[in-house]
Structure 1
Amino acid sequence: MGRYRNLALGSLASLSLLLGLATGSSAQMTHDAVSEPNSGFRRIEQPLWTKALVTAGGLGLVGLELWWFVFSQPKADKAKSQNGIQEITITVDGGYEPNQIMVQAGQPVRLNFYRTDPSSCLEEVRFPDFHIAKALPVNQTTAIEFTPTEPGRYEFACGMNMFRGTVEAVDSAPADDAARLTPAAKAT
């Protein structure tokens, strides 16, 4: 047992010595290489105001990007009512334009999808809340009709669920209730 112990300790000591010598010489080489002035790079000093200006410009661009993608809300286009049906045309070209539509709840809606984009993703539009899925032929208008009975947001998407839009149904009851109130009810 003592023989194996001595062999193991001797091997470990030899390995340590070998690694120590190799590391010491490489550390010396690294130190010598760094201290040479011929490295090819030269430090460029910039005035403090230039550094501050570049930093402020970068932060401004980050802020603009955050505002654009996170805080700005696209405005919804309102469907126009004709003959009791709210109607709007949606162009399908790399997405849906407009992709946010505002309608009155309880009134029929007709969305006319005009597809110009031949990509396979936009071949179909789906309205999961109304159980509607319809093919959109290229260079043709396809009408989709439904009635949102409740106020709320109803989403639609392409067949691959990559391009999306929203139909927001708003309640028109408060304006109608105000018109129906009698003069006595208005006074209270």
Structure 2
Amino acid sequence: MGSPTADKILDAARSLLVAGGYNGFSYADISTAVGIRKASIHHHYPTKAELVAVLLRRYVQQAQDGLAALSQAVDDPAGQLDAYLAYWQACLLDATQPFCVCAMLASEMPLLPEPVAVEVRSHFRTLSEWLTGVLTAGETRGSFRLNASPEAEAQMIMAAVHGAMLSARAFGDATLFLAIMGPQAARLRA
């Protein structure tokens, strides 16, 4: 955890990233949002790539912690998948986190500095591994009937989740997320 100012900078950068992507904000935008000089931002984060890489490391760690907590709280793999989808549905409905930061940045991958791209890939690996574990456990327990390998199904779920987020965002209708993802989850049920 950084200083309160460093944390405010990261929070502002995260909001700006979700709103407009990597190239959609500058240190001037953060300066305005936080109410500090650009030089203060450079003191904490000398480059934009470093700032976003730190932000993503924090985001990836929060995601890992959240997935681990979900796995601890819910023993049933089907319940874990439902809880994961419910988390994003709630975030979309109350606008606390209207889009996955790493999914947003993945669309810009060819233009991202390598330190940022590394963190985006790290998030996707973490999520893929977690979903693969959930699907494997669910198939073993008889909760899921998979049409492909757990790894391939995990990739399909990730693509569907991020696509459903895009549709909800494009149409300004958060309920589209569950309308899209509900049948996807139901398809896996044994």
TM-score when normalising by structure 2: 0.25
Query: Greater strand share, 1 or 2?
Result: 1
When Rg is computed on C-alpha atoms for both structures, the one with the higher figure is 1
Query: Greater helix share, 1 or 2?
Result: 2
> Which is bigger in relative contact order (C-alpha 8 A, separation at least 6)?
2
